[in-house]
């Protein structure tokens, strides 16, 4: 490729390149189910280097996370060095002495994919060089390196139109010619769910999460949210999600200091939301309990269901909530979430359980069809859904069931 000509075209106007990519603003073959992977920010923030990324890739294989479905190893903010004389971004030479291409080759050799981070503004959230005015150059560089996933943030963006900025980068990715999953980290400020499906594969619906079950952390001019606060902000958004375009309630905090019951509830609700499952802990050194949550294949199967329908809250009784998610083959997932600090008893009469999902129009009717129950976390069959279901949901925990259709009565 004639680099100088490419840069000249990109610098003159994106309109000159628009006809080349107008047929699509994103790769339609990616993210058919919610993306799964790992991201460096929640645990390590700017403490990022190539050796750690290699070790994370190794751990993703050794722990069984790759085989459970985790695919992307994503470097968040602070991998950046300076731009070269032509304006192409380079990695920090001290932290990434082998370069990003060599790192991508290593990650690919493990059967995984490499993700990277940039920002629509002049600088990233950690004040590193961002992509404003360099979108086509950066996309070309990512493609050259073998990048598979781009998380694109929204710091230092004064005067920018969000939809326009993200569309420009989407078009740049398409022009670069490599399949790259595009993750829009716009924080939900400009309702990305309304325009994101044609631009990216997933979009943040809120500000940042942090490792707290039910609280808000003040940062002066902005707030970080606990798991329950993030969950509440998903209300009214389920109609925008589906194969190839997902609501993203932010990365997982499983294994980052919350209690095990909090981690289990957190993971379960992201499963029910059909949310991307992007781990954010140190997977090289995690407890067996954390590993078992992150790699519970029955829970993951609910999240990765081919229908791609985001779950919904059917009922609320104080701190006790009942959530449902329609699945392929007539199955349903049912989750009892206890947000409170005391155990709660639940009772469900299977002889009179009828629900129709207003969005998908799918129904469950136990008076007409037979179903069997399975406890996803206990990995235990509970028999037929004929008698009353009675159980106790521990404080700030869940019971997650898979309801499988058998034959008509």
Residue-level pLDDT, tens digit, the chain, 409 residues? 455 544 544 443 333 333 333 435 899 999 999 999 999 999 999 999 999 999 999 999 999 999 999 999 999 999 999 999 999 999 999 999 999 999 999 999 999 999 999 999 999 999 999 999 999 999 999 999 999 999 999 999 999 999 999 999 999 999 999 999 999 999 999 999 999 999 999 999 999 999 999 999 998 888 999 999 999 999 999 999 999 999 999 999 999 999 999 999 999 999 999 999 999 999 999 999 999 999 999 999 999 999 999 999 999 999 999 999 999 999 999 999 999 999 999 999 998 899 999 999 999 998 888 999 999 999 999 999 988 999 999 999 999 999 999 865 4
State the residue range of the domain holding 381.
Answer: 312-408
pLDDT of residue 317: 97
- Rg over alpha carbons for the chain, rounded to the nearest Å, is 22
Q: Indicate the helix (H) or strand (E) that contains 233.
A: none
* Cross-strand partners of 279: 38
Q: Has 208 been annotated as catalytic?
A: yes
CA dist., res. 316 & res. 339, Å (int): 11
Do 250 and 348 lie in one domain? The reply is: no
Can you tell me the distance from the alpha carbon of 149 to that of 147, in angstroms, rounded to the nearest whole number? 6
- 276 & 339 share domain: no
**DSSP readout, 255-292?**
TSSS-HHHHHHHHHHHHHTT--EEE-S-TTS--HHHHH
Same domain, 68 and 178: yes
Instruction: Provide the 3-class DSSP secondary structure of residue 176.
Output: helix
Q: Which of 303, 324, 358 is the last residue of a domain?
A: 303
Catalytic residue among 76, 77, 138, 208: 208
Report how far residue 386's alpha carbon sits from residue 155's, in angstroms, rounded to the nearest whole number: 54
Q: CA of 312: how far to CAs of 195, 221, 333, 369, in Å?
A: 22, 32, 10, 22
Does residue 295 sit in the same domain as residue 146?
yes
The helix (H) or strand (E) run that includes residue 168 is helix 162-176
Residue ranges of the alpha helices (H) in 63-134?
65-68, 100-109
Residues 187 and 215 in one domain: yes
Same domain for 210 and 337: no
At residue 409, the pLDDT reads 44
What integer pLDDT is reported at residue 23 of this predicted model? Answer: 39
Query: How many Å separate Cα 94 from the centre of its chain?
Result: 30
3-state SS, residue 76? coil
Q: What is the pLDDT of residue 271?
A: 98
Name the burial class of residue 68, with classes exposed (0-12), middle (13-18) and buried (19+) by CB atoms within 10 angstroms of its CB: middle
Strands 320-326 and 312-317 come out as antiparallel
Q: Terminus-to-terminus CA distance in the chain, angstroms?
A: 65
pTM value is: 0.94
Residues 99 and 71 in one domain: yes
Q: Among positive and negative, which fits the CA dihedral 8, 12, 14, 20?
A: negative
C-alpha separations of 85 from 82, 156, 157, 182, 255 in Å: 10, 24, 24, 27, 42
Largest CA distance in the chain: 73
Asked if 322 and 336 count as a contact pair (C-beta separation under 8 A), the reply is: yes
Burial 129-150 (b: 16+ CB within 10 A, else e): bbbbebbbbbbbbbbebbbbbb
Show the CA angle centred on residue 147, arms to residues 161 and 10, nearest 5°.
45
- CATH for 126: 3.20.20.70
Verify that 253 and 343 share a domain, yes or no.
Answer: no
Closest CA to 307 of 382, 362, 228: 362
Contact 268, 213 (CB under 8 A): no
Q: Are strands 369-375 and 380-384 parallel, antiparallel or unpaired?
A: antiparallel
Report the candidate in 105, 100, 180 with the shortest Cα–Cα distance to residue 148: 180
Cα 107 to its chain centre, rounded Å, is 20
Same domain, 128 and 239: yes
> Which residues have a Cβ under 8 Å from the Cβ of 287 and sit 6 or more positions away?
255
Task: List the CATH number of the domain containing 388.
Answer: 2.60.40.1180
Residue 352's pLDDT is what?
84
SS3 323: strand
Task: Quote the tokens at residue 397.
Answer: 């925990």
Q: Is the same domain home to 217 and 332?
A: no
284, 303, 322 - which closes a domain: 303
Determine which one of 77, 138, 148, 153 is catalytic. Answer: 153
Which pLDDT value is given to residue 406? 87
Domain count, the chain: 2
Note whether 290 and 323 are same-domain residues: no
Report how far residue 381's alpha carbon sits from residue 392's, in angstroms, rounded to the nearest whole number. Answer: 17
* pLDDT at 407 (0 to 100): 61
**Which of 303, 326, 353 is the last residue in one of the domains?**
303
**Lookup: tokens for 308:** 């791609």
Contact 358, 326 (CB under 8 A): no
Q: At residue 281, what are phi and psi to the nearest 5 degrees?
A: -105, 180
Tokens representing 321?
């909530």
Domain check: are 46 and 186 in the same one?
yes
């Amino acid at each position: 490729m004639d680099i100088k000509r490419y840069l000249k075209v990109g610098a003159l106007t994106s309109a000159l390149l628009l006809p080349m990519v107008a047929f699509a603003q994103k790769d339609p073959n990616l993210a058919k189910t919610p993306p799964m992977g790992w991201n460096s920010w929640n645990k390590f923030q700017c403490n990022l280097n190539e050796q750690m990324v290699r070790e994370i890739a190794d751990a993703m294989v050794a722990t069984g996370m790759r085989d459970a479905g985790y695919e992307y190893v994503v470097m968040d903010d602070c991998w950046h060095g300076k731009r070269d004389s032509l304006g192409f971004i380079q990695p920090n030479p001290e932290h990434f002495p082998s370069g990003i291409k060599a790192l991508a080759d290593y990650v690919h050799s493990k059967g995984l994919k490499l993700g990277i981070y940039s920002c629509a503004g002049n600088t990233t959230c950690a004040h590193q060089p961002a992509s404003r005015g360099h979108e086509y150059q950066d996309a070309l560089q990512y493609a050259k390196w073998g990048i598979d996933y781009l998380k694109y943030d929204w710091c230092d963006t004064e005067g920018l139109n969000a939809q326009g900025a993200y569309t420009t980068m989407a078009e740049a990715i398409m022009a670069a010619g490599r399949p790259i999953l595009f993750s829009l980290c716009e924080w939900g400020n400009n309702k990305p769910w309304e325009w994101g499906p044609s631009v990216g594969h997933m979009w943040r619906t809120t500000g940042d999460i942090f490792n707290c079950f039910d609280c808000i952390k003040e940062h002066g001019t902005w707030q970080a949210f606990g798991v329950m606060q993030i969950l509440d902000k998903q209300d009214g958004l389920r109609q925008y999600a589906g194969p190839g375009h997902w609501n993203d309630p932010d990365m997982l905090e499983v294994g980052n200091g919350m209690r095990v019951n909090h981690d289990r509830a957190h993971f379960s609700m992201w499963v029910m939301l059909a949310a991307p499952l992007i781990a954010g802990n140190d997977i090289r050194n995690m407890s067996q309990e954390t590993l078992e949550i992150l790699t519970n294949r029955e829970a993951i199967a609910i999240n990765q269901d081919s229908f791609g329908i985001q779950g919904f809250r059917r009922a609320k009784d104080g701190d006790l909530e009942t959530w449902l998610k329609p699945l392929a083959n007539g199955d349903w997932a049912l989750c009892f979430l206890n947000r409170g600090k005391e155990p709660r008893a639940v009772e469900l009469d299977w002889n009179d359980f009828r629900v129709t999902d207003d969005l998908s129009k799918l129904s469950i009717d136990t008076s007409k069809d037979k179903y069997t129950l399975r406890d996803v976390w206990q990995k235990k069959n509970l028999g037929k859904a004929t008698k009353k279901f009675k159980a106790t949901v521990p404080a700030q925990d869940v019971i997650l069931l898979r309801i499988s259709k058998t034959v008509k009565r």
